[in-house]
């Protein structure tokens, strides 16, 4: 059986140049910093990555750039779920070919009120068309964005039909009852990742695999410390710190712009501010407010810098 991914994974932010093309140099540099500072894996092309603002060809090229730069493919879980079955197959097959440890797969999200039979057929068709035993699918449940929920019955059916292929899920619904139901029904053999920082400790104690959250882009060290300490006396304190940070950031300008603005400030690199439309950059007033509040919290990003330093934080 292939090894399941676990720990803290970042849905990697995608830097773009002034002409809005992907900025591969900054992308690779940020991925290295994440792996050096607490992330056990990377999930490029997730919601935080602006994935659905990038074409299939752009995502293929960005994934190749990571592998070509020497980042371990086994630590990559790229998002490959698209509305078009053929795009999902193309992206997923390419990830398998490159040796990625898994893929994070959205359901087809344009048509709504699709019955489980239709969703099952979609996922099954992807698996059968690829036909590669190395394929490891982590389902992506984010109904508030996709408006296509993944039921326990559908997940159970997929696991039963493809036990060595459908191996986990990222639950970003933000509903602890849903995450808890997933844990009780399928963990620990089926890897349950929470998409909500505040649920990380409860997820781990329930047999979950870890987290895949936007905040891992700026706080991989804090999330990793909590992951490591889940079963010791510091766990509650570390969870409180993690929750305090993400709560401070919640409810501001669109979160992708907020997280990019934070990196731009702490890396002294304004090139990080750019986003792809329809998302808008932070205003100077919004940016100042975020940085002021982070400073009051004592927040830091160890080792981050425009020059691309990769030194690890002090123990």
Is residue 256 packed enough to be buried (19+ CB in 10 Å), middle (13-18) or exposed (0-12)? buried
Tokens of 197: 């920082």
Asked whether the beta carbons of 117 and 84 are under 8 A apart, the reply is: no
Phi, psi of 202 (to 5 degrees): -65, -35
d(CA 264, CA 257): 10
Q: What are phi and psi of 28, to 5 degrees?
A: -65, -45
Report whether 50 contacts 276 (CB < 8 A).
Answer: yes
Is 170 annotated as catalytic? Answer: yes
Look up 179 and say whether it is catalytic: no
Phi, psi of 224 (to 5 degrees): -65, -40
Rg (CA), the chain: 18
Task: Please state, in angstroms and rounded to a whole number, the distance separating the CA atoms of residues 128 and 290.
Answer: 47
What span, in angstroms and rounded, lies between the C-alpha atoms of 287 and 253? 9
List strands edge to edge, sheet with 210-212. Answer: 41-42, 7-10, 210-212, 191-194, 166-171, 137-141, 103-105
Among the listed residues 47, 80, 179, 213, the single catalytic one is: 47
Structure tokens at 120: 């099952």
Parallel/antiparallel/unpaired status of strands 210-212 and 191-194: parallel
Pick the catalytic residue: 110, 111, 240, 254?
110
What backbone torsions phi and psi does residue 239 show, to the nearest 5 degrees?
Answer: -65, -40
**Candidate list 80, 88, 92, 140, residue with the active-site label:** 140
Given a contact cutoff of 8 angstroms between Cβ atoms, the answer to whether 281 and 15 are in contact is: no
Residue 285, helix vs strand vs coil = helix
Q: One of 80, 138, 170, 179 is an active-site residue; which one?
A: 170
The answer to whether residue 243 is catalytic is no
**How many Å from the N-terminal Cα to the C-terminal Cα in the chain?**
34
Q: List residues with catalytic annotation.
A: 47, 110, 140, 170
């Amino acid at each position: 059986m292939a090894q399941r991914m676990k720990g803290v994974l970042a849905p990697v932010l995608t830097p773009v140049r002034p002409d809005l093309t992907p900025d591969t140099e900054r992308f690779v540099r940020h991925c290295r910093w994440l792996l050096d500072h607490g992330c056990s894996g990377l999930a490029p092309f997730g919601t935080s990555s602006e994935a659905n603002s990038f074409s299939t060809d752009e995502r293929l090229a960005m994934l190749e750039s990571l592998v070509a730069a020497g980042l371990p493919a086994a630590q990559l879980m790229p998002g490959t779920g698209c509305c078009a079955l053929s795009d999902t197959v193309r992206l997923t097959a390419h990830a398998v070919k490159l040796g990625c440890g898994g893929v994070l797969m959205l359901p087809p999200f344009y048509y709504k009120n699709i019955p489980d039979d239709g969703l099952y057929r979609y996922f099954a068709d992807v698996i059968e068309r690829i036909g590669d035993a190395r394929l490891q699918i982590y389902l992506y449940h984010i109904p508030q964005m996709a408006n296509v929920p993944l039921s326990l019955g559908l997940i159970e059916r997929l696991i039963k039909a493809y036990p060595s292929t459908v191996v986990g899920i990222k639950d970003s619904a933000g509903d602890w009852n849903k995450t808890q139901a997933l844990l009780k029904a399928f963990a620990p053999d089926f890897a349950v990742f929470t998409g909500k920082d505040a649920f990380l400790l409860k997820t781990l104690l329930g047999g979950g695999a870890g987290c895949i959250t936007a905040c891992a882009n700026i706080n991989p060290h804090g999330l990793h410390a909590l992951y490591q300490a889940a079963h010791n006396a510091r766990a509650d304190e570390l969870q409180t710190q993690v929750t305090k940070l993400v709560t401070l950031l919640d409810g501001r300008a669109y979160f992708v712009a907020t997280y990019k603005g934070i990196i731009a400030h702490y890396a002294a690199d304004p090139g990080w501010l750019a986003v792809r439309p329809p998302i808008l950059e932070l205003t100077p007033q919004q940016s100042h407010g975020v940085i002021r509040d982070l400073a009051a919290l004592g927040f830091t990003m160890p080792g981050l810098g425009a020059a691309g330093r990769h030194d690890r934080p002090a123990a």
